[in-house]
Amino acid sequence: MKRSFLLLASVALCISTAMAQAVHQPTIGKTAIRLYNQPAHRTEIILPQVKGYNIYKGDFHVHTIYSDGEVTPRERVREAWYDGLDIIAITDHLELRSYEKFMLKAHAPYNPDGKPYEYIRGGAGNKKDPTTPIYCDLDATYDEARSYVEKEEIPIMVVRGTEIWRNARTTGEYNAFFLKDITDVAKPDIIESLKEAKSQGAIIIHNHPGWRRKTMDKSEDQVKIYEQKLVDGIEVVNGLNLYPQMIDRCVEEDLTIFANTDCHRTSAQYFPRGGEIFRTMTFIMAKECTEKAIKEALLKRRTIGYSHNHLIGEQMWLEEFLNAAVECKVVAVNEKKGHRAFQLTNHCSVPFILRRGKTIYTLNPFQSLRVNFGKNKETGKYSNPTFQVDNMWTVGDKHPKMVIEIDK
Ligand SMILES: [Zn+2]
Q: Which domain does 26 fall in, by range?
A: 1-39
In the chain, the N- to C-terminal Cα span, in Å, equals 9
pTM, to two decimals: 0.91
Phi, psi of 246 (to 5 degrees): -75, -20
Looking at the fold, whether 220 and 308 belong to one and the same domain comes out as yes
Q: Please enumerate in sequence order all residues whose Cβ is within 8 A of that of 156, keeping only pairs 6 or more positions apart, or say none.
A: 77, 80, 81, 85, 86, 87, 88, 149
Predicted confidence (pLDDT) per residue in 312-361, tens digit: 999 999 999 999 999 999 999 999 999 999 999 999 999 999 999 999 99
Q: Please enumerate in sequence order all residues whose Cβ is within 8 A of that of 19, keeping only pairs 6 or more positions apart, or say none.
A: 39
**Would residue 53 count as lying in a domain?**
yes
Looking at the fold, whether 309 and 379 belong to one and the same domain comes out as no
Ligand 1 center to residue 70 CA distance, Å?
A: 13
Predicted confidence (pLDDT) per residue in 164-223, tens digit: 988 888 999 999 999 999 999 999 999 999 999 999 999 999 999 988 888 889 999 999
* 87: CATH: 3.20.20.140
Nearest to 108 by CA among 117, 95, 98: 117
**Would residue 114 count as lying in a domain?**
no
Residue after which a domain boundary falls, among 313, 333, 353: 313
**Would residue 123 count as lying in a domain?**
no
Ligand 1 center to residue 45 CA distance, Å?
A: 25
Compute the CA torsion angle 292, 294, 298, 301 (nearest 10 deg). Answer: 110
Phi, psi of 379 (to 5 degrees): -90, -20
Looking at the fold, whether 190 and 212 belong to one and the same domain comes out as yes
Can you give the pLDDT at residue 225? 96
Give the mean pLDDT of 27-51: 83
Name the DSSP class of 233.
E
Residue after which a domain boundary falls, among 262, 289, 313: 313
Can you give the pLDDT at residue 27? 61
Phi, psi of 320 (to 5 degrees): -65, -40
Compute the CA torsion angle 164, 168, 171, 174 (nearest 10 deg). Answer: 30
**Would residue 147 count as lying in a domain?**
yes
Residues with CB under 5 A from ligand 1 (ion): 163, 262
| Nearest-angstrom CA–CA distance, 245 and 366 | 32
Ligand 1 center to residue 266 CA distance, Å?
A: 14
Ligand 1 center to residue 20 CA distance, Å?
A: 36
